Amino acid sequence: MTAEIPARRDGGPELKDLGGGNARARHDEHVLPRGENRRTGSCRADRQDQKAVAYLHDVLEKADGWDRDRLEAAGFGTSIVSAVDAMTRRPGEDDLAFVRRAAANPLALPVKRADLADNLWQARQIGASTSKYEDGLRILDEEFDD
């Protein structure tokens, strides 16, 4: 499956080929320093639908002109679109409320766990605060089963 996704509002790279390494490389570029080579949450996902959600998880929040309807029109099924929507932060939403809402979607849950783990790793690499990622993972461990 291929979907054309525009560049992020913050100038990040485009995600184009959902099925192959090109998309993974482009996703890695927007979350990792240039030259960093490791598996992101999108690569850790076990199933194809989880991989699609992982690749698309920032689209509704950070790409101009994309909403649920446009994702469905691009050929993504309802379960994937719902999971991507669950992974999209609402304006003014508290970090832990966002984690709980995302995790309430069974398809989004393992993707959210991998995304938090990646964000935690990245924060540690640059010496940034890790508390919100640790708190999010703790909530997932205590309140949700994958």
- How confident is the prediction along the chain (146 residues), in pLDDT tens digits per residue? 445 444 444 443 334 434 334 344 334 444 434 333 334 454 555 788 999 999 898 899 889 999 999 999 999 999 999 999 999 999 999 999 999 999 999 999 999 999 999 999 999 999 999 999 999 999 999 999 87
Domain positions in the chain: 21-143
Query: What pLDDT is attached to residue 113?
Result: 96
Q: What are phi and psi of 122, to 5 degrees?
A: -65, -40
Separation between Cα atoms, residue 99 and residue 126, nearest integer Å:
23
Contacts of 106 (CB under 8 A, 6+ apart): none
Length of the chain measured in residues: 146
Q: In degrees to the nearest 10, what's the CA dihedral of 54, 55, 56, 59? A: 120
Q: Are 21 and 55 in contact (CB under 8 A)?
A: no
